[in-house]
Amino acid sequence: MSKINEKINRKDVGNVLDKIAVHRGENRVDTVRRLGYFVVALVLALLFFFPFYWLIKVAATWPSGSLYAGTPSLGLESLELYNFIRVYYEIPFPRYLFNSIVITMLAVVGSLVTNSLAAYSLTKDFVGKKVVMAFMVAALMIPYYVTVIPAFLLTNELGLLNTHLGVALPFMTFIIGTFILKNSFDAIPDSMLEAARLDGASEIYVLFGVMWRLAKPALATNVILAFIQTWNAYLWPLVVVSDRKMQPLPLALASFTTRFDGNFALQYAFAIMVLVPVVIMFLLLQKQFIRSVVQGSVKE
Amino acid sequence: MKDSIFSTLRQIRLLFGSLSLRDLLVNRLVLVIVVTLVVTGSVQVFASANNDGHFSGQVTNAAGEPVADATVVIQGLNIRSQTGRENTTTDENGYYEFPNQTDLLEFRIIVTKEGYESTVIRYHLYFKGQNDQIDVTLHKSE
């Protein structure tokens, strides 16, 4: 081995060792930073999850008096389903569930159709389009509570008080949903729609057969938003429903809370029974929901 | 007019024709609905097969020997009230039974016998009229 090689080798080795040291240091800093993020995220996640945990813990406690007896604890001593059964026997839960499902289905299907039609029309150029858009944006600024009395009078005129359709009607369209769909429809190339028309497709087929297939994430977002706002609606059903048999779940929950004031185990059990369908719905559609939010944030 | 109606109908048929039966039936939403219906149906079938309201059990002492002639009382519990009491006595083998308790869901069972401490147990069934059995152990009073 020549001396030149020896010198080069020593330098190379030194350089490599330095680089490794720097790299290790970077890795260590990166790992510590990631660990920090993880710990913060974990603490936040636990903080957000705690109310739900408490809801489950109280709902799963039987007898409910044991909540106040002895030393309070955070642990889940036993998982007792009795409170849910008691709720089932105390109120006509299947009837309320049926009401909520029918009202929500009507609102979801109705909002998909009406929002799609509105969004499709807004993808076209026509005289006064900007005025219509401005009008829709302005309508967003009107507080919901202001619209309740006119909507009630109209529903009364239509003879839809105490009916599923009467409760679902105002939820059958919402402006945010129209704009979400409009943005999604705008992204579809015109050439594709032209090709469909050349193949003999009508405008209805272009909308529901072509555009719907290409705008699934936006439709899923629409479904989720319509589902959540209808399922959780309280004020509007309170105004239009006076017949107990026609109450949806949130109204039933409110009257149940009044009736069993102080019995937290039953109240929480009922709250979980109301909450479960929403959670299932979100879990089923979360991929589309997140995809739609991400797509909406990027403008290319 | 006639042509446009036929054209619309053809388009609608085309619209639904593009959906396959597999698309409609094999998805997560349908799976959740099917599982929910199957579980609910199974529970209903099980409940309807076991809801004669036959509630029974055996009363024994700490040594495991049957206690005859013990008085067993059950009292239904509602959320804010109590229902009427029903009582019976154990036979020579310590067995007791309450037939036709089809409205029973949550209740208190009180077992008394001279020379023993009376025992009170709070109990619940999982559906009204569930056939169930609860054995009670009595301890001698001091």
Per-residue pLDDT of chain A (300 residues; tens, 9 = 90+): 455 555 567 777 778 877 777 777 777 888 888 999 999 999 999 999 999 999 998 898 887 766 677 777 777 777 888 999 999 998 999 999 999 999 999 999 999 999 999 999 999 889 999 999 999 999 999 998 999 999 999 999 999 999 999 999 999 999 999 999 999 999 899 898 899 889 888 888 888 888 998 888 888 889 888 988 999 999 999 999 999 999 999 999 998 888 888 788 899 999 999 888 888 878 887 777 677 666 555 544
Q: Single out the residue of A36, A49, A78 nearest to residue A61, CA to CA.
A: A78
Cβ atoms of A163 and A172 closer than 8 Å: no
Cβ atoms of A240 and A161 closer than 8 Å: yes
**Which residue range(s) make up the domain with A192?**
93-297
A81 found inside a domain:
no
For chain A, where are the E strands, in sequence order?
Answer: none
A101 and A188 share one domain? yes
A267 and A127 share one domain? yes
A166 and A277 share one domain? yes
Which residue of chain A has the CA closest to B103?
A89
A127 and A260 share one domain? yes
A223 found inside a domain:
yes
Contact B79 A204 (CB under 8 A): no
Contact A63 B122 (CB under 8 A): yes
A106 and A205 share one domain? yes
A66 found inside a domain:
no
Contact B126 A81 (CB under 8 A): yes
A2 found inside a domain:
yes
| Per-residue pLDDT at A159 | 94
A63 found inside a domain:
no
Q: What is the CATH number of the domain that holds A166?
A: 1.10.3720.10
A43 and A143 share one domain? no
Report ipTM for this prediction: 0.80
What is the 8-class DSSP label of residue B75? E
A145 found inside a domain:
yes
Contact B79 A208 (CB under 8 A): no
A133 and A30 share one domain? no
| Per-residue pLDDT at A11 | 74
Q: Which of residues 46-105 of B touch A (CB under 8 A)?
A: 79, 105
Is the CB of residue A279 less than 8 Å away from at least one CB of chain B?
no
A69 found inside a domain:
no
A28 and A101 share one domain? no
| Per-residue pLDDT at A283 | 84
- For chain A, the farthest-separated pair of C-alpha atoms sits apart, in whole angstroms, at 103
Counting the structural domains of chain A, the total is: 2
| Per-residue pLDDT at A3 | 56
Q: Single out the residue of A218, A300, A273, A275 nearest to residue A91, CA to CA.
A: A273
Give per-residue pLDDT as tens, B106-142: 999 999 999 999 999 999 999 998 999 999 999 988 7
Structure tokens at A37: 């993020």
Mutate to test the interface with A, among B15, B16, B109 (most CBs of A within 10 A): B15
Contact A266 B18 (CB under 8 A): no
Give per-residue pLDDT as tens, B20-72: 667 666 777 788 889 989 999 999 999 999 888 899 999 999 999 999 999 99
Domains of chain B, each with CATH number or no CATH? 2-49 (no CATH), 55-138 (2.60.40.1120)
Nearest to A280 among B11, B32, B79 (CB): B32
A80 found inside a domain:
no
Average pLDDT over chain B, rounded to whole? 86
Chain A residues within an 8 Å CB radius of B14:
201, 205, 209
| Per-residue pLDDT at A66 | 67
Q: Single out the residue of A289, A163, A137 nearest to residue A236, CA to CA.
A: A163
| Per-residue pLDDT at A300 | 47
A43 and A189 share one domain? no
The two counts, helices (H) then strands (E), for chain A are 14, 0
A19 and A162 share one domain? no
Which residues have C-beta within 8 Å of that of residue A294, sequence separation ≥ 6? none
A142's torsion region: left (phi>0), alpha (psi -120 to 50) or beta? beta
